Amino acid sequence: MKQKIILTGDRPTGPLHLGHYVGSLATRVKLQHEYKQFVMIADAQALTDHAEEPEKVRRNILEVALDYLAIGIDPKKTTLLIQSMIPELCELTMYYLNLVTWNRLKHNPTIKAEIMQKGFGEAVPAGFMMYPVSQASDITAFKADLVPVGEDQLPMIELTSEIVNKFNRTYNCHVLVNPKAHISQVARLPGIDGKAKMSKTLKNAIFLSDPENEVAKKVKGMYTDPGHLRVEDPGKVEGNPVFTYLDAFDPDKTKSISLKERYSKGGLGDSNVKKYLLEVLEGFLSPIRRRRQEIAKDPQEVWNILFQGTEEARLVASSTLSEVKKAMGINYKSK
């Protein structure tokens, strides 16, 4: 293996959706055949804004794991792990916090956008402000040099690189590895309401685990071109979520192109395009749904996979922490 991959993972605050798939999940399935890969269920980070809902976070660890396995992440090729079960990550985070200024965290564009989205105002949990440093801990603990992310997460990779460089420079070592971001071709999927990003929080997502009737309901209500009032009217393709989804999921690109041409010239109704999109999404989701239902019959086996992967991951993180403490000169030993 020439490269190791660590994905800071997904926060278990709910099941995963199509935006997660095009943003990073599809990349993980592909790259697991090429590199050593760690995929994290970031439950500790989920608590930074769900501290009063620990049971929700715990429950969704299994939901996220089911989604991973259903889409084709293979535990024989990918190490699946639970963040909070690796205390070495918390210790690394503490050391890294001393290398980052509060001002730097405050001006992180991803954090600023999420604070606005969540409506924190001035009541931002300190843990939430510091979770980019926790992500740096996750990445560097496994010496990852490639991290699949969406474009909105690039500031997190930049901050990780800053921490890596400052640590190696401060302690005159080469312990930490500088990561590179791997951006998927479809880095962001808009919500079904036409908003910029599909999100559980905004309630505009199609989940990988949604039943067929729920998918149909959501597709039927999707935002399109508000100016496309009659079938014969020309419609806008750019910025139209229906066509964005077809770009991401339709295996027949020729047909998608044809539909775009007809829609933009006039003569194609929104309902017809949505009907085709539903066929495309069901062709993608139905095999995932079947696999998920089958795997869910034995939840203890899913937990066993997570526990085994976490044990393997902890050995790696522990080794990195030992190197970090040695470089810092704080690897004390009792006589």
pLDDT of 2 > 70? The answer is: no
Write down the pLDDT at residue 122.
86
Total structural domains within the chain: 2
Q: Is 130 helix (H, G, I), strand (E, B) or coil?
A: coil
Q: Are residues 279 and 304 in the same domain?
A: no
Question: Is residue 198 in some structural domain?
Answer: no
Q: Are residues 185 and 217 in the same domain?
A: no
Round to whole Å and give the CA distance between 198 and 334.
52
Cβ contact 48:54 at 8 Å: no
Q: Are residues 101 and 29 in the same domain?
A: yes
Write down the pLDDT at residue 281.
98
| 154 contact partners, CB below 8 Å, separation of at least 6 | 181, 183
Write down the pLDDT at residue 8.
65
pLDDT of 173 > 80? The answer is: yes
- Helix boundaries (H) for the chain: 18-20, 26-31, 43-46, 54-71, 87-97, 102-106, 109-118, 126-129, 131-141, 154-170, 212-220, 241-249, 253-265, 270-295, 299-328
Q: Are residues 49 and 86 in the same domain?
A: yes
Question: Is residue 201 in some structural domain?
Answer: no
User: Any idea which residue has 């590179």 for tokens?
Assistant: 180
Tell me the average pLDDT across 318-332: 97
Q: Give residue 1's pLDDT band: very low, low, confident or very high (50, 70, 90).
A: very low
pLDDT digits (tens, 9 = 90+) for 99-131: 999 999 999 998 888 888 888 888 999 999 999
pLDDT of 186 > 70? The answer is: no
Question: Is residue 79 in some structural domain?
Answer: yes
pLDDT digits (tens, 9 = 90+) for 248-264: 999 999 999 999 999 99
Considering the chain, what is the average pLDDT of its residues? Answer: 92
Kindly report the CATH number assigned to the domain that includes residue 66.
3.40.50.620
Kindly report the CATH number assigned to the domain that includes residue 231.
1.10.240.10
pLDDT digits (tens, 9 = 90+) for 149-158: 877 789 999 9
Write down the pLDDT at residue 3.
60
Greatest distance between any 2 Cα atoms in the chain = 85
* Full residue range of the structural domain in which residue 260 is found: 212-293
Q: Are residues 226 and 167 in the same domain?
A: no
Q: Are residues 48 and 10 in the same domain?
A: yes
pLDDT digits (tens, 9 = 90+) for 61-84: 999 999 999 999 999 999 999 999
